Amino acid sequence: MSYGVQQERDWNALGDEEFRAIVRADFETHYPKAQRFPPRRLRWSENKDWYLRMASKGWIAYNWPLEFGGMGLAPAKLLIFLEEQERCGIVRFQDHGIIMVGPILIRFGTEAQRRKYLPPILTCEHLWCQGYSEPDAGSDLASLRTQARLEGGEFVINGSKIWTTLAIDANHIFLLARTDPAAKKQEGISFLLVDMASPGITVRPIRDMAGHEELCEVFFDDVRTPADNLVGELNRGWTIAKSLLGIERIHVGSPKLPEYGLSVLASLARARGLMDDPVFRDKFFQLKLDVAHLGDIYSEFTAIVERGEALGPDVSLLKIWATETFQRIADLYIEAAGACGGLSGDVAVGDELINVLAPYYKARTPTIYGGSNEIQRNILAKQVLDLPS
């Protein structure tokens, strides 16, 4: 079976800088300037034109192998592609199918599952969301209570998920459910695929402190999904769950967002004449050094990926460093705005029109999702430093 759009050339045959120049030129030429670095996560109705273009070009699944319709990028080229997306301020869409479900099906799925689900991911016909966290099982994900019982040829699901990103736009969900209530904590959990149009599913948006409705609650009341939608082995979904969380950590640990934060902070500081203030300048350059050091350690981890090696538990350091540095940048941004620091929406500061609170809002959630930073510190303490419990 043929998946996706044939690539126009062998990207891995190009030198890294030549490949970077091609990707950068395409993004700079075609990506809408009005959508760069937005203050919130955009809805599918707002950014679908760009991603449908990427799908038709064959660039939607940059992280998939050629044989499954992806770009087939080697690790170094993949990192360049991601870096250029971040540098250009390209917003994420409902990409859980691309960065999560697709790779999981390629690795753990059956041939029938790949044939059914990969093509509509590549065309953006299927938009996926992630059903992991629950009201009493966030960072302690293994405590989840959503249950799925096998009844004939179907799983019957009951329970709820929370903080489900853009579930209001998704038409499919992948989720973890307990399929053996008597098993130990990390055991007895299975990985299931579910059509969001199935009877018994209710989605309720959650309004955040910025007034946005990016996150949702999803409720399951006797929801049925075919037994063929079990990915991997029954009661062995925890292995798949961990592999997905590892993918998130190096992505969240990129220095590009803190670098962008520094650039907007510098613009605000110039508009208010703060670069001549020695106290502000000291704080600013401390942060600049932190971001530079983040870039150095990020390069060490990406080199591991480029060599095709597995990332160790020490990658948790990257997420902590990147997310907490960005929070400190956002905090200084509000301080630098002075009397405008508490105003919402666009505010005129000198010759600049800025959204003072946007970086602050954007910086709050990364320390929580993908495994909270407290959990990351526990991982470092136990698995890297071998400290006693």
Strands (E), the chain: 128-131, 147-151, 154-165, 172-178, 189-195, 201-206, 215-226, 230-231, 346-349, 352-355
Q: Which residues are catalytic?
A: 248
Amino acid type, 365: T
Lowest mean pLDDT among 325-334, 342-351, 355-364: 342-351
Report yes or no: 247 and 100 within 8 Å, Cβ to Cβ.
Answer: yes
> How big is the chain by its Cα radius of gyration, in Å?
22
What was the pLDDT predicted at 101? 93
What was the pLDDT predicted at 376? 87
pLDDT band at residue 241 using 50, 70 and 90 as cut-offs: confident
- Rounded to whole angstroms, how far apart are CA atoms 155 and 148? 6
Give the 3-state secondary structure of residue 209.
coil
Please give the DSSP secondary-structure letter assigned to residue 309: P
What was the pLDDT predicted at 280? 95
| pLDDT exceeds cutoff 90 at 207 | no
Of 337, 204, 178, 188, which is closest to residue 271 (Cα–Cα)? 337
What was the pLDDT predicted at 178? 95
Average pLDDT over residues 182-195: 92
Beta strands 201-206; 189-195: pairing state: unpaired
pLDDT in tens, 269-305: 888 889 999 999 999 999 999 999 998 888 888 777 7
pLDDT band at residue 200 using 50, 70 and 90 as cut-offs: very high
pLDDT band at residue 50 using 50, 70 and 90 as cut-offs: very high
Tokens standing for 219?
Answer: 């409720």
Residue found by looking up tokens 């055991």 in the block: 187
Residue found by looking up tokens 């409902």 in the block: 94
What was the pLDDT predicted at 324? 94
Of 220, 166, 132, which is closest to residue 46 (Cα–Cα)? 166
Average pLDDT over residues 196-206: 96
Average per-residue pLDDT for the chain: 89
What was the pLDDT predicted at 359? 84
Domains and CATH numbers, the chain: 11-93 (no CATH), 128-235 (2.40.110.10), 253-384 (1.20.140.10)
| pLDDT exceeds cutoff 70 at 248 | no
Give the 3-state secondary structure of residue 161.
strand
- Rounded to whole angstroms, how far apart are CA atoms 388 and 378? 11
Output 1 or 97, whichever has higher pLDDT. Answer: 97
| pLDDT exceeds cutoff 70 at 246 | no
pLDDT band at residue 245 using 50, 70 and 90 as cut-offs: low
What was the pLDDT predicted at 160? 96
